[in-house]
Chain A
Amino acid sequence: MRDFAAHVRRHLPRASVADDRYEKIVDEVADELESLYQASIQRGATDAEAWEAVLAQVPSWPALVDALAATTPAPRDARQRLPRLQRWSTDRWRQDIKLGLRTFRKDWGYTTTAVLTLAICLAGNAAILPSVNVMLLHPLQVPEPERVVLMANQYPRVESRVGIVSAPPDYEDRLRYVTALDEQALYNYAGETIESGGLPTHMLGLIATPSLLRVLQVTPAWGRAFVDDEGIPGNDRRVILSDGLWRELYGGDPAVVGKTLRLTGRDFTIVGVFAAGFSFGGPEVRFWVPLALDARQRSDERRHANGWFSVGRLKPLASIAQVQEQLKALDAANRARFPQMAPLLASTGHYTSVAPLGDVLTRGVKTPLMLVWGAALSVLFVGVINLGHLALARSRVRLHEMGTRLAIGARPSDIVRQLLVEGWIIAGAGTLLALIASRWLARLVSAARPAGLPVPTAATFDADASLVIVVLGVLVGALIAVISALPLYTTRLGAMLKETSRSELRGRASRTARRTLIVAQMACSFVLLVGAAVLWMSVRTLLASELGVKIDNVITGSISLPRQRYSSDDDARAFVNRSLEAIRRLPGVSAAGASTIMPMSTFYSSGPINAEGYVPKRGEPPVGALRASVTPGYFEAAGTRLLRGRFFDERDIDANTRTIVIDERLARRFWGNSDPIGRRVYRPESPSDLAPGPATRWLTVVGVAAHARLRGPEAEDDVPPSYVPYAITAPREFGFLVRTSIDPAAIAGQMRSAVASVDREIPLSDIRTLTERTDLAIAARRTTMQLATVFALVAVLLSAVGLYGVLTYLVTRRTHEIGVRLAIGSSPRAIVGLVLREGLGLAAGGMAVGAIGVLSLRRLLATYVNGVSAADPQIMTIVAMGLASIALVACLYPARRAANVDAIQVLRD
Chain B
Amino acid sequence: MSTAADEHALKKGTAELLVLAQLEDAPRHGYDIATRIDQRSNGAVSFNVASLYPVLYRLEAHGSIAGWWVERAGERRRRFYKLTPAGRKRLLQQRQTFSTFMSAVQRAAGLEYA
Contacts and interface: CB of A to CB of B under 8 A. Distances in A.
A57 B48 contact: yes
Contacts, number: 59
Contact of B30 (A28, A56, A60, A63): A28
Contact of B61 (A31, A58, A72): A72
Contacts of B98: none
A71 B59 CA distance: 8
B58 interface: yes
Contacts of A25: 53, 57
A30 to B, nearest CB: 9
A68 interface: yes
Contacts of A28: 30, 53, 79
Contacts of B108: none
Interface in A657-716: none
Interface of A: 24-25, 27-29, 31-36, 56-60, 63-64, 67-68, 70-73
Nearest to B30: A32
Contacts of B48: 56-59
A32 B50 contact: no
Contact of B54 (A35, A36, A67): A67
A68 B54 contact: yes
B72 interface: no
A31 B79 contact: yes
B54 A71 contact: yes
B53 A68 contact: yes
Contact of B53 (A29, A36, A60): A29
A350 B110 CA distance: 102
A31 to B, nearest CB: 6
Contacts of B58: 70-71
A206 to B, nearest CB: 79
Interface residues of B, number: 18
B12 to A, nearest CB: 11
Interface in B61-112: 61, 76-79
Given A58-B48, A59-B48, A31 B54 contact: no
B46 to A, nearest CB: 10
A58 B50 contact: yes
A180 B33 CA distance: 94
Contacts of A68: 53-54, 57
A32 B54 contact: no
A31 B49 contact: no
27 contacts: A25-B53, A25-B57, A29-B49, A31-B31, A31-B77, A31-B79, A32-B34, A32-B49, A32-B52, A32-B53, A33-B49, A36-B31, A36-B49, A56-B48, A57-B48, A58-B49, A58-B50, A59-B48, A63-B50, A67-B53, A67-B54, A70-B58, A71-B54, A71-B58, A71-B61, A72-B57, A72-B61
A71 B50 contact: no
A867 B56 CA distance: 84
Contacts of B78: 31
Contacts of A27: 77, 79
Given A31-B30, A64-B50, 5 more contacts: A28-B53, A31-B76, A36-B31, A57-B48, A71-B61
B10 to A, nearest CB: 17
| Closest 8 pairs (CB-CB, A-B) | A67-B54, A71-B57, A57-B49, A35-B31, A57-B48, A71-B58, A58-B50, A64-B50
Nearest to B34: A32
A32 B57 contact: no
Contact of A73 (B49, B61, B77, B79): B61
B69 to A, nearest CB: 8
A546 B79 CA distance: 102
Interface in B5-34: 29-31, 34
Contacts of A67: 50, 53-54
Contacts of A73: 61
B19 to A, nearest CB: 13
B50 A59 contact: yes
Contacts of B50: 57-60, 63-64, 67
B64 to A, nearest CB: 12
Contacts of A35: 31
Contacts of A60: 50
Interface string B31-57: 100100000000000001110111001
A248 B54 CA distance: 89
B84 to A, nearest CB: 15
A63 B79 CA distance: 23
By CB atoms of chain B within 10 A, which of A28, A34, A73 has the most? A28
Nearest to A74: B61
A671 B15 CA distance: 112
A58 B61 CA distance: 22
Contacts of B34: 32
Contacts of A24: 79
A64 B76 CA distance: 24
Contacts of A57: 48-50
A70 B54 contact: yes
Contacts of B57: 25, 68, 71-72
Contacts of B31: 31-32, 35-36
A68 B50 CA distance: 9
A68 B58 CA distance: 8
B80 to A, nearest CB: 11
Q: Which of B31, B49, B78 has the most CB of A within 10 A?
A: B49
Contacts of A31: 29-31, 76-79
A789 B17 CA distance: 69
Contacts of B60: 71
A64 B54 contact: yes
Contacts of B53: 25, 28-29, 32, 64, 67-68
B24 to A, nearest CB: 21
B43 to A, nearest CB: 14
A25 B52 CA distance: 12
A25 B69 CA distance: 12
Contacts of A70: 54, 58
B59 to A, nearest CB: 9
A24 B61 CA distance: 14
B67 to A, nearest CB: 8
A69 to B, nearest CB: 9
A823 B31 CA distance: 60
A36 B77 CA distance: 15
B13 to A, nearest CB: 15
A904 B74 CA distance: 74
Nearest to B76: A31
Contacts of A72: 57, 61
Contacts of A64: 49-50, 53-54
Contacts of A32: 30-31, 34, 49, 52-53
A823 B53 CA distance: 53
Contacts of B52: 32
A72 B53 CA distance: 12
A25 B77 CA distance: 13
A57 B50 CA distance: 6
Contacts of B77: 27, 31
Contacts of B79: 24, 27-28, 31
B56 to A, nearest CB: 8
A13 to B, nearest CB: 15
A31 B34 CA distance: 13
Given A28-B53, A64-B53, A73-B61, A34 B30 contact: no
B28 to A, nearest CB: 12
Contacts of B49: 29, 32-33, 36, 57-58, 64
B3 to A, nearest CB: 16
B114 to A, nearest CB: 33
A73 B60 CA distance: 10
Nearest to A63: B50
Contacts of A33: 49
B68 to A, nearest CB: 11
A71 to B, nearest CB: 4
A755 B60 CA distance: 102
A29 B76 CA distance: 13
Contacts of B61: 71-73
